[in-house]
Amino acid sequence: MKARLNLITLGVIDLKTSVDFYENGLGWKKSSASQEGVAFFQLNGIVLSLYPREALAEDAQVSPEGQGFSGITLAYNAKSEQEVDEVIAKVKKLGATITKTPQKVFWGGYSSYFKDPNGHLFEVAYNPFFEFDERDILKLE
């Protein structure tokens, strides 16, 4: 298996509300590959998919019931502390729940967390030790 991820699928309770949050709220462009019942967003080098939670659980042959922390977060790496503050202010206006306000963190960066309308955790962080290439893709040595 090659070391790569191509697609992240989030199981969502209300597809329309979720698409609205990402497309109209965050300004992400929904792909023309989207169909009834599923939405795709092309992100730099990866695709985010939104799919009904019940159907996703059924497809994976697991229970759709879930409580508390799922053990996964998604991360948006910003290019400055100011960008972290701006993103968090924007998602808060869109109704996201801020679980950790923007703050300096032990590893030398600046970080915050929010939950999207379905409770998926996103970290928004500035890491002064990370670099981006000319296409805004995170570069690690």
Q: What is the pLDDT along the chain (141 residues), one digit of tens a residue?
A: 677 778 899 999 999 999 999 999 999 999 999 999 999 999 988 999 999 988 888 877 777 887 667 768 899 999 999 999 999 999 999 999 999 999 999 989 999 999 999 889 999 999 999 888 898 888 876
Name the percent of the chain in helix, strand, coil, to the closest 5: 25, 35, 40
Whole-model pTM?
0.80
Each domain of the chain, given as residue ranges in start order, spans 1-65, 68-141
Rounded Cα distance between 134 and 47, Å, is: 19
d(CA 68, CA 32): 34
> Domain 1-65 - what CATH class?
alpha beta
The reply to whether domains 1-65 and 68-141 share a CATH topology is yes
pLDDT for 1 equals: 64
Residue 48: per-residue pLDDT: 94
Select 68-141's CATH number: 3.10.180.10, 3.10.129.10, 3.40.1180.10, 3.40.30.10.
Answer: 3.10.180.10
State the virtual CA torsion across 18, 105, 4, 41 in degrees, nearest 10.
20
